[in-house]
Structure 1
């Protein structure tokens, strides 16, 4: 868990620095920072999809995952529930920033593979690298949305801690195929978040989050036959 603690610490430090910058940054700079973050999110998402797609053994699974996940997410109304919850504690567009932060922090390849590498091989390289990247991202996010972005650090701790414990319990059951499919779906969600930040298309990204659960379930069922 050393790597995860480092990752969380970098996010909190970045949020602190970014929130201090927020007080003296003009609206025009906030706009350009949001555009920069949107472009970065798009490129991170595209890279995740492009790098993993050639390795996919189930080339249409991501389509099924998105469709099934969207139906489940819409039925649970995740986006509105999240917006209402955040709205109770903060005004403005913090909900949008938190949704983006959660996706960027939790769904990237390094954030998924890092805890697994740490659990199985005691290798913290991915998590330390991810922590540095998240620290920089946190400065941009907090300078745009405020220190409330730090809430995402707690979510990251639960996410990576859960993956770490899951890897210890399952050991060899976590196949490369499952990680590839999850990363592809996650990359698409990050891309969707980037499009929203760029105001190209506002997508209820949180309603698509259940899509991340579909690949391991489908692959697990297929391996039984």
Structure 2
């Protein structure tokens, strides 16, 4: 968990720095930073999909994952509950959108997922230290645009990576590269969707699609069991 704690601390430190930048940032600069983040999210998402799609053993898995996960997420109406919750801590603006983007960028990526598994199985924290440093820089930009509320994403990272760490410890023989590949493809699509929203190209209820991340894990385990 050392790597995860470092990751969380870097996000908090970056959020503090970004919070002070946010106070004196003019609206036009906030706009250009939001657009820059949208482009970053799209590039990260596209890269995750393009890099992992050729490695996929089940090319239609991500389609089924998005379809099933979307229906479940819409039924639970995660986006609405999330926006309502964030609204209690926000004095206006688009913190909910920024926070959703932050959570996806921090949690859904090869370094975050593989790094946690490496830490659990091999006690190798290299990936997580690298990921934490990158997240720290990203949080400065996010917090300077959306405010200190971005620090709430640190809690999501702690739960996400902590959960993966515990699962990896319990299911050491069941976790494989196939599962991680399929999960990363779905995650890449969600990050891409987040970027489209930031650029105001198409507003997508990304949080309602989050249950799609569970489908590849269950799907691969079931397929490999039979």
Segments of structure 2 that go 5 or more residues without pairing to the other structure are none
Structure 1 distance, partners of 2:46, 2:86, is 28
Q: Does structure 1 residue 2 correspond to structure 2 residue 2?
A: yes
Q: How many residues align?
A: 225
TM-score normalised to the size of structure 2? 0.98
Matched with 1:216 is 217
**Partner of residue 43, structure 1:** 43
Tell me the residue number matched to 2:193. 192
More displaced 10-residue stretch of structure 1: 193-202 or 215-224: 215-224
Deviation of 1:224 after TM superposition, in Å, equals 2.5
Deviation string, structure 1 residues 115-157 (Cα, Å, up to 9, x no partner): 1000111111110110111011101110111001100001101
1:73 matched to which residue of 2? 73
The alpha carbon displacement at 1:95 in A equals: 0.7
The correspondence of residues 24-103 of structure 1 with structure 2, limited to 5 A, is: 24-90=24-90, 91-103=92-104
Task: Tell me how far apart the structure 1 counterparts of residues 130 and 85 of structure 2 sit (CA, whole Å).
Answer: 32
The aligned counterpart of 2:140 is: 139
Give the Cα separation in 1 of the matches to 2:159 and 2:77: 22
The 2-side partners of 1:124 and 1:116 are apart by: 10
4+ aligned runs moved over 3 Å, structure 1: none
Q: What does residue 171 of structure 1 align with?
A: 172
Q: SS at 2:225's partner residue?
A: coil
